[in-house]
Amino acid sequence: MADGSSETKSSNQMWGGRFASGPDAIMEEINASIGFDKKLYAQDIRGSMAHATMLAHQGIISAEDKDKIVHGLDTILSEIESGAFEFSRRLEDIHMNVEARLATLIGSAAGRLHTARSRNDQVALDFRLWVKEELQKTEKALTALIAAFLDRAEEHADTVMPGFTHLQTAQPVTFGHHCMAYVEMFGRDRSRVRHAIEHMDESPIGAAALAGTGFPIDRHMTAKALGFREPTRNSIDTVSDRDFALEFLSIASIAATHLSRLAEEIVIWSTPQFGFIRLSDAFSTGSSIMPQKKNPDAAELVRAKTGRINGSLIALLTVMKGLPLAYSKDMQEDKEQVFDAAESLELAIAAMTGMVRDMTVRADRMKAAAGSGYSTATDLADWLVREAGLPFRDAHHVTGRAVALAEQKGCDLADLSLADLQSIHAAITEKVFDVLTVEASVASRTSFGGTAPAEVRKQIAWWRGRN
């Protein structure tokens, strides 16, 4: 007896204080998912209502039992939304919590609900519905962000700023054109969202555990009732597929990368050294010790969210990479990553939309910086090709000498005299000064998709005409 007690005590110490009752407590802790999958309650109840309605329509259960089930499920939905529902870890997941409560409410009729389905296709349905709805919210959020950029682009189609490569001044552009670059980025994100919705628009319910069912179910009926285009076509793939979750995370990671690039520019632009924009107090914080500081914390936090979202994608890819068909319990680890990424992305897009609308653009600072770094050098080279007939490589060399002379004299290209320029190449005339201002530079870039204000306005009009 003493030996047995000693062994039990030793075992309990092995499991640790949190698991004082031994292996059963550990199993409950690792197996239960109700702590996070309760987020799927609305999708679970909606799917069960559609399933019960189909079962009654097919004569698999009675209309009376169907009515009891639907009424009971509606009651549970109200209880959860009001906060009156008590979730139990002992019942593992959202499916069993709902089913247990349904049995309490309506008795034996509740047991008929699980006819011709499994938790495998049930969770696939719940999760797919949730991701589809989240993608629809993401589409709306991206549309709002695009609209914010279109408004700023229209407002600043003529506002000159430096365009950068390697974060070095390259050529003058307009702030409107720069804004439209982000419209293109987030437009691609929105397009990926729409394609993802189309890819996943298939109903899993009815695949059962992995082999389908012998009951005469109508999967097309449940697919239509749940807003899907059609049912999935292979029951094994249906219960083992999490591509829709991976695609969501992939889209979220790309969008977060775009948001992070924008956040970085906002951080740079708002520094005193650049001073291109100002953020209001709504999107900034102060310092606890330095009273002069105004920190772009909202942009920095958007930038940081990218790490969390990328991590979620890698985590789920790793979970799925070695799983044999069909369902494995590993797949329980899919939801927390998606839930966290969705929350992070939703917040980041909202914050960025707010900052784009909130920022004050300092056009004077942008214009002053636009002419720095000999940003119109390419315009000089292009003029030599057009007007003097030089091959571009020769024009490039002549321009390089002009830049070197300007550096030597400590002035901009436009401040060199005609004599200075003609000392480098005799074919240069007074007309060259027409292209050496930043305004003339941006106005000349009229190629499709270029920075000329007229072209920027064309692109704004095209985007406004899209859905």
- Helix and strand totals (H; E) in the chain: 19, 6
Find, among 46, 233, 197, 57, the residue nearest to 125 by Cα.
Answer: 46
d(CA 89, CA 154): 54
Helix (H) or strand (E) holding 355: helix 335-358
Coil, strand, or helix at residue 166? Answer: coil
Coil, strand, or helix at residue 129? Answer: helix
The Cα-based distances of 177 to 144, 151, 439 in angstroms read: 19, 12, 14
Verify whether residue 199 is a known catalytic residue.
no
Provide the b/e sequence for 90-109 (b: ≥16 CB within 10 Å). ebbbbbebbbebbeebbeeb
DSSP 395-459: HHHHHHHHHHHHHHHTS-GGGS-HHHHHHH-TT--GGGGGSSSHHHHHHH--STT-S-HHHHHHH
Place of tokens 């109200």: 78
Considering the candidates 166, 258, 372, 423, report the single residue annotated as catalytic: 166
d(CA 462, CA 195): 21
Verify whether residue 287 is a known catalytic residue.
yes
Provide the greatest CA pair distance for the chain: 110
C-alpha Rg value of the chain to the nearest Å: 31
Place of tokens 């320029």: 421
How far is C-alpha 45 from the chain's CA centre? 27
Helix (H) or strand (E) holding 360: strand 360-361
- Residue 11's identity, in one-letter code, is S
- Residue 147's identity, in one-letter code, is A
Cβ neighbors of 312 (< 8 A, separation 6 or more) are: 249, 252, 337, 338, 340, 341
Task: Record the tokens describing residue 29, joined without a space.
Answer: 């802790």
Please state whether 368 falls in left (phi above 0), alpha (psi between -120 and 50) or beta.
alpha
Considering the candidates 287, 288, 396, 423, report the single residue annotated as catalytic: 287
Report the interhelical angle of 175-199 vs 119-155 (nearest 10°): 160
Contact 232, 238 (CB under 8 A): yes
Strand pairing partners for 168?
A: 165
Task: Record the tokens describing residue 254, joined without a space.
Answer: 């790309």
Coil, strand, or helix at residue 170? Answer: strand
Catalytic residues: 166, 287
